[in-house]
Amino acid sequence: MEQHAGIDSIADRFTRWCGAVVAVLPFGLDRVVPATLLGFALINSFTFAVDLLLLTLLHSVFHLPVPVAFTLAYITAFALAFVLNRTFNFHSHAPMGRQAVVYAVVVLVNYLAFILGVGSALVAIGVDYHVARVLAGGCEAVYMYSAMRWIVFRGKRSEHPVAAGR
């Protein structure tokens, strides 16, 4: 988290806010929950809402088949999640190209296992496609946070304890 001449970026404020919220968690959770987990939850909740909105538009309005609608909505939401997490949550300054390639592999695995695998299987057994996407989303959240924290954005982070996710 660099500050230039007293300038406080939106990303810096987001990180400090996440750290402040985590710091007041009860039952000792403040010692085990990293600020990056809260940041991830907020950013990915937003991009998941974008995903569901696009899914609804593509399937219900434009009548695209569920697998096509899942795919287009998913790609759009995950591109947005990459940029927002890189900037606001993990404060990465590593070369974007390498990270984007690693992220693409992580997302591909996630897509095949959870979106198409779990999501399509649930739709095939009669679960509403919105409910199927939400259930698949719960599985993918655990996988994606872990992959982003320890694989995609694993490089050296700022020494600031909030930026480093404690």
165 φψ region: left (φ > 0), alpha (ψ -120 to 50), beta (else): left
Q: What is the DSSP string of 64-78?
A: --HHHHHHHHHHHHH
Written as six digits, the tokens of 134 are 């939400």
Residue 116 one-letter amino acid? L
Instruction: Encode the chain (166 residues) as per-residue pLDDT tens digits.
Output: 444 545 678 999 999 999 999 999 999 899 989 999 999 999 999 998 999 999 999 999 999 998 899 889 988 998 999 999 999 999 888 888 999 999 999 989 988 998 789 989 999 999 998 899 889 888 888 899 999 999 999 865 544 444 444 4
* Contact status, residue 63 vs residue 74, Cβ threshold 8 Å: no
CA-based end-to-end distance of the chain: 14
Any idea how long the chain is? 166
